[in-house]
Amino acid sequence: MTTSKGSAAAPPPVHARAANFLLRKPLTAPRAAWIIAAFTISATIIAGVLIHFTDEHNFPNIGDGLWWAAQTVTTVGYGDLVPTSTAGQLIAAAVMIGGIGFLTVITAAITSTFIENARRRIRGAEDDVISAKLDQICVRLAVIETALKDIGARDRHE
């Protein structure tokens, strides 16, 4: 396939393919929470491995790096392992911000789900009331129509 300039068309960028994959289904609060959770877990594992290579003195093995990343992303931060290198501190800052964002989004997703469920229950109750009123109106209209027909029939016979 060629473009109007005659060169071969480039494949879509990776981020466009990733966006298409993520947005194939409607983005609901629970689905967004799962996507963010998967991203956060992946980033935490990557950070745990990276911290080992950037600050080997304080994180002599990858297990220590993963432990540090898990406690940092969850905002526990025991302080038993702390990065001292500049690169390690930059990774730590990213993990902390990611952890705060993760907790915020998960809390918002849960809250959104509760609100939407309550809204559906309320809307369902309102729909029941409206439906009952419409049924009453239909009955009254039927009575009025019958009365009008009776009046029309009497007028024709008189």
In the chain, domain spans: 28-157
Quote the percentage of the chain above a pLDDT of 70.
Answer: 84
Region 63-68 average pLDDT: 93
Distance CA 44, CA 50 (A): 10
* Helices (H) then strands (E): counts for the chain: 4, 0
Alpha-carbon distance 58 to 85, whole Å?
Answer: 9
- CA distance linking residue 102 with residue 39, whole number of Å: 9
Q: In this structure, which topology does domain 28-157 adopt according to CATH?
A: Helix Hairpins (1.10.287)
**Res. 32: pLDDT tops 80:** no
Instruction: Give the predicted TM-score (pTM) of the model.
Output: 0.56
Is the pLDDT assigned to residue 106 strictly greater than 90? Answer: no
The amino acid present at 52, given as its one-letter code, is H
Q: State residue 39's pLDDT score.
A: 86
Average pLDDT, the chain: 82
**131: pLDDT strictly greater than 60:** yes
Residue, of 67 and 32, whose pLDDT is higher: 67
Mean pLDDT along residues 58-82: 89
Name the H helices within 23-61.
Answer: 29-54
